[in-house]
Amino acid sequence: MEVEAEEIFKEFKQHSISEFFKKNRQMLGYSGMVRSLVTVVHEYVTNSLDACEEAGILPDISVGITETGENRYSVKVSDNGPGIPKEYVGRALATILAGTKFHRYVQQRGQQGIGAAGCTLFSQITTGKPIQVKTFPRGKKRAYSCSIALDTMNNKPIVTDYAETDEAFNGLEITGEFGGVKYEKGERGVYEYLRRTALSNPHIQMKFVGPDGEEKIFVRAVDTVPERPKPTRPHPLGLAVNDLIEFAKASKSRKLSVFLMETFSRVSQGKVEELRKIAKEVDLEKSPDKITWDDSERLIKAFKEVRWISPDPTSMVTIGEDQIGVALKNILAPEFMHITARKPAIFRGGIPFVVEAAVAFGGYAGRKVDEGYEGNIMRFANRVPLMFDSGSCAITEAVKGIQWKRYGVDMDSQPITVFVNVSSVHIPYSGVGKESISPEEEIVNEIKLAVMESARGVQRYVSGKKMANSETSRYKMVMGYANQLASDLSTLTKVDREKIKGMLEVLVSKHYPKAKGSREEEVGEAKEEEG
């Protein structure tokens, strides 16, 4: 029996984004009990870090986890940041796709305005409870507390139990209870997430109290707040045809030439003249809203023929080579490490990004296994640890694509840690759970170049160490014969055995200068005294 279209479309409805994520919470990172708990902590801690840094405050963050039932935990996260004004608290913590970040072309850890609201939704659908908030907004006279839930049908906050308090504290405190979660001490648990957060943010001071009551303090290693990134504009390289058209249609400029200079970075009057000569068919004096697909294609092609200045690095705040060194020493205490920071590059959409990489050898680097050690990869995006979905990540793809044996490194049997951080105004995550970076060709290539440069540094160290060990072995073997030779010569010449042995040591040491235990200087001095 055939059914008419009108009958089919009686069920046609429009749903809110909150309803969608209520049915698809795995897309927010809530899949698996251990991962779900890490996701909650991740969202709250990254929000605290962003808020503190934007306010110019050295972050002081506290994380507490308490078991409240089977696979059920209470999570409390507090910070010393600027807090949230009363009129924004509901939308900030219980409205999906609302926030201060998505519409700004500036580097931040959070990007989508989903994280904190997603935590509120997750608490609600697993325990039926709202989250509890206590905050003292900077610039206000009093602190306040409230309960917040999410109206999923309308994607709106429900704020109740509002009360002002004279309690003296700074910042924000959020407490939520979550079901279907599990606390573990493994390498993908909350503790490891916080350890890596301290590694990539050495300016943070953080206290963690686990369900067993054990307290861990991650001590601040750097006493300066990172500089705030400056808002930037897209770079002409990396733009697609449709990108250019959309920017042009939204522009209020009167001419295409002016639009290019006002909308994109590194476009000067001189660059416009170069483009005019290359894309002769495009009228740069017409209004931007008159641009055609053919015009855009010609301009995109012309962009690739112009020699551009690299993107403005002030739009991105990296960890920094010195701070990576301090952090790795504090956390891994490696025997040797080599750190590399690449210059800004660009991927699709004209978005700039920077790759920092380090390869650490020895100490607490790598991962302990039954038969010894194996290498591991620490992935970060905008200084945030990426703990899951490693298989589909650009960092994993780049690191595994390197022929490590060319560098004298064996990732299967040596204590090696590869550290990679990608900074950008827009990280192209593979999903809204923000646990892996999409393997964009430009990003993968930059990561490879950075890691290979660091690998060469480790190669020089390991080769030198092997050579020194080899020379030491040969030196000891030859000196074993020298001892007997000294005795025989002493018997024949009646010269003191120790003097002969000393002269032989000097001779052998010249052939093996890197050998450990050489007494060349000591014997040389004795010889001078004898003379």
Confidence of residue 154 (pLDDT cuts 50, 70, 90): confident
Question: How high is the pLDDT of residue 519?
Answer: 42
Question: How high is the pLDDT of residue 524?
Answer: 44
Q: Look up residue 153 and give its amino acid.
A: M
Asked whether residue 526 carries a pLDDT value surpassing 90, the answer given is: no
Name which of 66-70, 180-184, 483-487 the model is least confident about: 483-487
Question: Do 244 and 291 form a contact (C-beta atoms < 8 A)?
Answer: yes
Confidence of residue 98 (pLDDT cuts 50, 70, 90): low
Asked whether residue 180 carries a pLDDT value surpassing 90, the answer given is: yes
Confidence of residue 530 (pLDDT cuts 50, 70, 90): very low
Question: How high is the pLDDT of residue 221?
Answer: 84
Asked whether residue 477 carries a pLDDT value surpassing 90, the answer given is: no
Question: How high is the pLDDT of residue 470?
Answer: 59
Supply the DSSP symbol for 289.
G
Confidence of residue 517 (pLDDT cuts 50, 70, 90): very low
Which of 355, 107, 346 lies closest to 230, judged by CA? 107
Question: How high is the pLDDT of residue 485?
Answer: 79
Name which of 124-138, 259-273, 339-353 the model is least confident about: 339-353
Q: What is the mean pLDDT of residues 494-514?
A: 77
Confidence of residue 46 (pLDDT cuts 50, 70, 90): very high
Confidence of residue 311 (pLDDT cuts 50, 70, 90): confident
φ/ψ of 71, rounded to 5, equals 55, 40
Q: Which domains does the chain have, with CATH numbers?
A: 17-218 (3.30.565.10), 241-303 (1.10.8), 313-455 (3.30.230.10), 463-530 (no CATH)
DSSP annotation string for 195-240: HHHHHH-TT-EEEEE-TT--EEEE-----SPPPPPPP----STT--
φ/ψ of 347, rounded to 5, equals -120, -175
Q: What is the mean pLDDT of residues 60-82?
A: 96
Question: How high is the pLDDT of residue 425?
Answer: 83
Tokens 């907004």 found at:
137
Name which of 30-39, 75-84, 175-184, 483-492 the model is least confident about: 483-492
Rounded to an integer, what distance in angstroms lies between the CA atom of residue 379 and that of residue 200? 10
pTM: 0.75
Question: How high is the pLDDT of residue 13?
Answer: 63
Burial class from Cβ neighbours inside 10 Å (0-12, 13-18, 19+) for residue 266 reads middle
Q: What percent of the chain has pLDDT over 70?
A: 87
Rounded to an integer, what distance in angstroms lies between the CA atom of residue 21 and that of residue 17? 6
The first and second tokens of residue 513, run together, are 């200068």
Q: What is the mean pLDDT of residues 490-494?
A: 81
Q: What is the mean pLDDT of residues 327-339?
A: 89
Question: How high is the pLDDT of residue 529?
Answer: 41
Can you give the three-state secondary structure of 363-429, one letter per residue?
Answer: CCCCEEECCEEECEEEEEECCEEECCCHHHCHHHHHHHCCCHHHHCCCCCCCCEEEEEEEEECCCCE
Mean pLDDT rounded to a whole number for the chain: 85
Rounded to an integer, what distance in angstroms lies between the CA atom of residue 345 and that of residue 3? 55
193 CB neighbour count, 10 Å cutoff: 23
Q: Look up residue 120 and give its amino acid.
A: T
